[in-house]
Chain A
């Protein structure tokens, strides 16, 4: 047993660690592997599961897919080294075990033997090396580059033998297994000789094989009888692509589909009230970041930023925008679901008198005018209006600019992006199994997504330490420091983290989803 494992067991015995947090961290450092589901607990085999999914916006290319329609497709036939469950526990998939070195700068993964791709190729270490080099190579145009930047470089993945690979990281990272898990949705393992033709055959190792894919229409999959694990229960799955949520809702109500991969509260209130519809509700780290420019105008004074944060009625937002299916945010990326989150840090709450006092102290007793720029996406325009109303109570007169997504992000470079140039803005951030990515680019000095233009050397140092920490108490202690620093500085307001919602018909069982819109149907059945 490693020192990290001994420490973790000691924390559990001492009662400082709950059972769930113990499982999450034990799995992360490769101490335990989840047991397979007993056959008796599974449903009846042979069903056809009909799924409503968003239209993939482009080619199903693992290297470039970035939107929910595409990633729902990737994980039907493709598999990851590790699967991050909705409970944030890592489970072995194509890797059977993993282990860090002492400072977590090198991770060694043992691979599953006797696995074959649907196309007949054997799965081995060469496939992992080729896949990870492709994803981390700036010359390949990979979407995963924004996740792997500063973590893993081309050549950092080494083949030790046919069934062992070693990842030599750019910097120590205690959460690295998440970077090669389903949490990094581009990281499905492809054959070593992959030639960019995934869409023609969906050649993966997974429990389903492609029967037919028609762009913009749908896809059918059949059970992979040669699967290395328990065979999938459904004989086939049929995905229908939809351009909008409303027709998906109607299709479920009309019994034309069994499952909707993801629903948003807005527009699906009828489903949420329908006793004949099952809602799979997963707490997630999906959130909105409202950045406040720290380097310009009245917002450069942190008392003004704190005042704006204190004007928000967060429980009201959670109730009004999500019917309660969200958790309060505390203005840091540490979501309540992360075991590393320090829950002893006080929750920021609405306090208008204190906010007004802060405005007075900052020299703005009569407020000021500013602009909030954001994207037309899901509930964000409504949130912008609610923020505008809240700010009015402390004298901040906010003009709203609500743009198409492309206009808001622009070229994502300072000077050519309303997102990065606006004094205030609201940006959507998806779910991640660990907070590392959202702690970095939006906050680090010079971070690529740092719309708040926040620069703080202490913060940068704390994040580097957090990334390197492998033991939960150390992570939690650093998280507490980061949370308190961000509450004080308030470069970004995070009002809530909302749940991931999937809807199924009343007879559907065994559907598994992740917070990033992946759907796993191998245990799905109709009762």
Chain B
């Protein structure tokens, strides 16, 4: 049993490493077909061609692409993410800082959206076919289709500019406490909550409806168990399995796909870092950013698998 587990972990690790390697190759190859070059993106489109050539040489970006990629991989294998072309300084501090920021925003968003959307999904399923169900389904769907930049600006205007109850910037002054930091994250998190709420609540609702109609639920009811106990012990446990997988799948979006929200709230997350690096052809920064998000995605998928394994009665039975 232990050997099988180790084998599975090893297989998963090897697949993850292969995925990341392929990802880095795709990103690098994609970058090569983009127009323009690094020197010109730094010096501006109207820069003198001689100056551009000199800068490209200084940065090493006039080398053949394969050599550039090999150099970058060599550095990475030694634990060095490389030097940013645009900022002429090591990439790692930028990535770590941005990752920390993105994790904080993702954490705040999940802390709000998970209980809210699961609660709403369960409530809708328990009132299947009635107005409560329609309210959650249609309301969630309507919120999901509103783009973040629209909901974000509206929320800023209402809560930040008119009511003045929440700060409009995600950034705090140096030395701010944890509560202050969290308060500044509420407004940036809300547009993301609106986007995710409809999706997660609908998955939770669907899982719950299926579980409520399942044979084991009917059996539990017929055995005379109280409804509350049936829902907590039998229904929820099964109903939430797909929801957990969906939440895990949203992690990469919450870490790397928040460019609009990060821009609107002046938040230095990893999404805008990656976008800026792509625009400036800053390959070391771009590669490091995407691999970081990819790693986070893989880790969240593993975490979701573990959670599903713990919650799924069938895997528990298999283990026994």
Residues of A within 8 A of B (CB): 55, 57-59, 61, 64, 66-67, 138-143, 145-146, 149, 199, 215-217, 240-244, 246-247, 250-251, 253-254, 256, 404-413, 419, 441, 448-449
Contacts and interface: CB of A to CB of B under 8 A. Distances in A.
B55 A141 contact: yes
Contact of B88 (A61, A145, A410): A61
Contacts of B92: none
A217 B174 CA distance: 12
B99 interface: no
A145 B40 CA distance: 13
Given A138-B51, A250-B264, 20 more contacts: A57-B86, A58-B42, A59-B87, A141-B58, A143-B44, A145-B47, A146-B46, A149-B48, A215-B87, A216-B273, A217-B268, A240-B171, A246-B149, A247-B266, A253-B161, A254-B164, A407-B34, A409-B40, A411-B35, A412-B49
Nearest to B273: A216
A413 B279 contact: no
B144 to A, nearest CB: 22
What 3 A-B pairs come out closest when comparing CB atoms?
A66-B44, A406-B36, A141-B54
A411 B54 contact: no
Contacts of B295: none
B262 A243 contact: yes
Contacts of B280: 57-58
Contacts of A140: 51, 54
Interface string B19-59: 00000000000000011110111111111111110110010
Interface in B135-174: 149, 153, 156-157, 160-161, 164, 167-169, 171
B276 interface: yes
Nearest to A244: B263
A174 B152 CA distance: 53
Nearest to A149: B48
Contact of B266 (A61, A251, A253, A411): A251
Nearest to B149: A246
Nearest to A253: B161
A61 B269 CA distance: 24
Contact of B168 (A251, A406, A411): A251
B272 interface: yes
Given A58-B87, A242-B266, A247-B265, A64 B272 contact: no
Contacts of A244: 263-264
B280 to A, nearest CB: 6
Contacts of A143: 43-44, 47, 51
Contacts of B153: 246, 250
A441 B272 CA distance: 35
30 contacts: A57-B42, A57-B86, A58-B87, A59-B87, A59-B89, A138-B54, A141-B39, A141-B54, A143-B44, A143-B47, A143-B51, A149-B48, A215-B94, A216-B276, A241-B266, A244-B263, A244-B264, A247-B263, A247-B264, A250-B153, A251-B266, A404-B35, A406-B36, A406-B281, A407-B35, A409-B46, A410-B36, A411-B36, A412-B49, A448-B48
Given A67-B44, A215-B87, A217-B268, A243 B263 contact: yes
A453 B265 CA distance: 45
Interface in B212-266: 262-266
B19 to A, nearest CB: 29
Nearest to B282: A58
Contact of A411 (B37, B51, B58): B37
| Contact count band on B | 35 or more
Contacts of B263: 242-244, 247
A58 B86 contact: yes
- In this complex, the member of A59, A241, A244, A247 whose beta carbon has the largest number of chain B beta carbons within 10 angstroms is A247
B50 to A, nearest CB: 4
Given A138-B54, A250-B160, A409-B40, A146 B48 contact: yes
Given A247-B263, A448-B48, A66 B42 contact: yes
Given A247-B265, A251-B168, A256-B169, A145 B48 contact: yes
B162 to A, nearest CB: 10
B43 A66 contact: yes
A64 B42 contact: yes
- In this complex, the member of A61, A241, A251, A406 whose beta carbon has the largest number of chain B beta carbons within 10 angstroms is A406
Contacts of B171: 217, 240
A138 B50 contact: yes
- In this complex, the member of A55, A141, A405, A410 whose beta carbon has the largest number of chain B beta carbons within 10 angstroms is A141
Contacts of B43: 64, 66, 141, 143
A256 B45 CA distance: 33
A253 B162 CA distance: 10
Contacts of A145: 47-48, 50-51
B279 A406 contact: yes
Contacts of A405: 45
Contacts of A246: 149, 153, 264
Contacts of A242: 263, 266
Contacts of A141: 39, 43, 51-52, 54-55, 58
Contacts of A59: 86-89
Contacts of A256: 167-169
A253 B48 CA distance: 40
A256 B171 CA distance: 11
A81 to B, nearest CB: 22
Contacts of B268: 216-217
A64 B266 CA distance: 25
B56 to A, nearest CB: 8
B169 A64 contact: no
Contacts of B35: 404, 406-407, 410-411
Given A146-B47, A250-B156, A256-B169, A407 B36 contact: yes
A142 B51 contact: yes
A21 B241 CA distance: 77
A58 B279 CA distance: 12
Nearest to A409: B45
A251 B169 CA distance: 8
Nearest to B37: A411
A406 B47 contact: no
A413 B37 CA distance: 12
A201 to B, nearest CB: 14
Given A57-B276, A410-B36, A64 B50 contact: no
A55 B40 CA distance: 18
A64 B54 CA distance: 11
Contacts of B85: 58
Contacts of A243: 262-263, 266, 272, 276
A293 B53 CA distance: 27
Nearest to A254: B168
Nearest to B59: A141
Contacts of B45: 405, 408-409, 412, 419
A406 B87 contact: no
B190 to A, nearest CB: 15
Contacts of B44: 66-67, 143
Interface string B280-308: 11000000000000000000000000000
Interface string B63-87: 0000000000000000000000111
Nearest to B173: A238
A254 B170 CA distance: 13
Contacts of A408: 45
A246 B265 CA distance: 10
A255 to B, nearest CB: 9
A58 B59 CA distance: 13
Contacts of B160: 250, 254
A67 B276 CA distance: 14
